[in-house]
Chain A
Amino acid sequence: MLEFFTNLGSSTRNSFSKLGRGAFFLIHTLSGIGQVLTRPGLLLKQMYSVGVLSFLIITISGLFVGMVLGLQGFYILRDFGAEESLGVMVAASLVRELGPVVSAILFAGRAGSALTAEIGLMKATEQLSGMEMMAVDPIKRIIAPRFLAGFICMPLLAALFSAIGVMGGHMVGVSMLGVDDGAFWSQMQATIDFREDIVNGVIKSIVFGFVAAWIALFEGYDAGPTSEGVSRATTRTVVNSAFSILALDFILTALMFGEI
């Protein structure tokens, strides 16, 4: 019994201490953002590896998610004779929810895990330590450009995901199942609100990008300097990012759309 409470106490203390380290890490990273802006070369290189290299997975996933939405939406709406509203349904689901959430989870799996492994290995091979001894702050030089790149790329990837998804929905609904092309677009245009839907979706993806990049980089920086440590950190990145993104999505949705 005593052992149970000792373990509980120590794991609680560890969790809080990790949270504290994470917060300091974030503040330190944010203080390095100004320096990154003066060296756009560093930022562009990271935007390439974080953003451009995630392009393919986001595009293909977006297309399939949109196609499935088109198919399922059509079957449900047809029962009510409302298949012309398919465009609204597909676009609203993508822009409000699926675009930001699914692309953020894919982003955490594709780019986040790569960032954690990269930073963890740099720590294990003493590259970060070596940089400190060369009087270069690794958080400002290595972490900050990656953080900013994730933060910038995430909303762009989410927008791409939604746009491709709408095209996928159109392909299935209009080209294959025969929904009226004009109704598909005009109802979407009439119903989707810029402020209510699109801006809120963009805000979500900005928040998710911030959180996913923070978790990935912190886990890498905090990883045990061994192969086991790096492997655990990579797993934690994917799991914690997915949890945080889904939980934050609920909170943000409640604040933006709900009346809870």
Chain B
Amino acid sequence: MASSSSTENNIVAVKNLCFSRSNRKIFDDVNLDIQRGKITAIMGPSGTGKTTLLKLIGGQLTPDSGKIEVDGQNVHRLKTRDLYTLRKRMGMLFQSGALLTDMNVFDNVAFPLREHTQLPESMIRSLVLMKLHAVGLRGARDLMPNELSGGMARRVAMARAIALDPLMIMYDEPFTGQDPISMGALVHLIKALNATLGLTSIIVSHDVQETAAIADYIYVLSEGKVVGQGTPRQIAQSDSPWVQQFMNGYPDGPVHFQYPAIDYLDDLLAST
């Protein structure tokens, strides 16, 4: 396995993770490692708990059993203060962008800097403009979040996520609902930021082509388990029916087209 090279090289290590929500098992003994400096994609059909996994890594949810280590620290054993210190080194990009709607773009990006540093306003301005320039929105600094398109909102959120120069950044469905140009811009940005800032990126997505194009390593999740892992090439050549169905978008396969129901004929006859 490529991922089990050396533990020091892993920024995130998920071990024997089990998590359930209202009696439904979301994760059942999941193991995965995220390598430092790489772009790792976590893919799977909707409802497999990909976003939940990011929230578990960020310490917003607590697992039933198993442990998650980020940069050598067990996330769920940390005191609140230490967890917050760790979170300053993790950026997270929510699907909706999660920008603060009562502040303009500039203040949104400046928010983490103003909350966590004592930097003078002139330096904050320079830093914010640098981050906004990196995502191509320096000119949009005075716009309010409701004046931004979906793609722009995500880019502002990206600028905000890198404001404190984190170690890693987690993207929750970054490509969903984007037009081809915004999608292209986001794909380019994720790759460029990862390379130039020396980040580690975790992308949770079900957009196969875009994600496979930039990921160094892919995990495919389904029904609470890792059903496939490897480089994009290995995944494409995988003979696992789960992986094949997901990567090629077959309507039926291990994930059934029909929601579980009683026999069709019995059902029809029962209604007469």
Residues of A within 8 A of B (CB): 122, 125-127, 129-137, 141
Contact = CB atoms under 8 A, between A and B. Distances in A.
Interface string B90-118: 11101110111100000000011001100
Contacts of B60: 129, 132-133
B100 A135 contact: no
Decide if the interface of chain B is mainly helix, strand, loop or mixed.
Answer: mixed
A54 B120 CA distance: 36
Nearest to B163: A134
B141 interface: no
B100 A136 contact: no
A66 B84 CA distance: 52
Contact of B94 (A129, A135, A137): A129
Interface residues of B, number: 24
- Chain B CB count within 10 A is highest, among A130, A131, A134, for A134
Contact of A127 (B84, B90, B100): B100
Given A136-B112, A136-B115, A125 B96 contact: yes
A137 B87 CA distance: 11
B115 A141 contact: yes
Given A134-B115, A135-B116, A129 B85 contact: no
A133 B100 contact: no
Nearest to A125: B96
Contacts of A133: 58, 60, 87, 90-92
B84 to A, nearest CB: 4
Contacts of A129: 55, 60, 94, 98
Contact of A135 (B85, B95, B96, B99): B85
A135 B87 contact: yes
B112 A127 contact: no
B92 A125 contact: no
A135 B87 CA distance: 5
18 contacts: A125-B101, A126-B94, A127-B98, A127-B100, A129-B55, A129-B60, A130-B94, A130-B100, A131-B100, A132-B60, A133-B60, A133-B90, A134-B111, A134-B115, A135-B88, A136-B111, A136-B112, A136-B115
B237 to A, nearest CB: 36
Q: Which 9 A-B pairs have the closest CB atoms?
A: A130-B98, A135-B87, A135-B84, A126-B98, A133-B92, A135-B88, A126-B94, A134-B112, A136-B115
A126 B94 CA distance: 8
Contacts of A126: 94-96, 98
Given A126-B98, A133-B92, A135-B88, 14 more contacts: A125-B96, A125-B101, A126-B94, A127-B100, A130-B99, A130-B157, A132-B87, A133-B90, A134-B115, A134-B164, A135-B87, A136-B111, A137-B84, A141-B115
Nearest to B170: A133
Contacts of B94: 126, 129-130
Contacts of B157: 130
Contacts of B115: 134-136, 141
A94 B205 CA distance: 61
Contacts of A122: 101
Interface in B161-214: 164
Contact of A125 (B88, B98, B112): B98
A127 B95 CA distance: 11
B85 A130 contact: no
A141 B164 CA distance: 18
Contacts of A137: 84
Contacts of A127: 98-101
- Among B85, B95, B111, max chain A CB count under 10 A is at B111
Interface string B103-141: 000000001100110000000000000000000000000
B253 to A, nearest CB: 32
B119 to A, nearest CB: 16
A136 B58 CA distance: 13
Interface string B131-163: 000000000000000000000000001001000
Nearest to A124: B96
Contacts of B58: 132-133
A134 B157 CA distance: 11
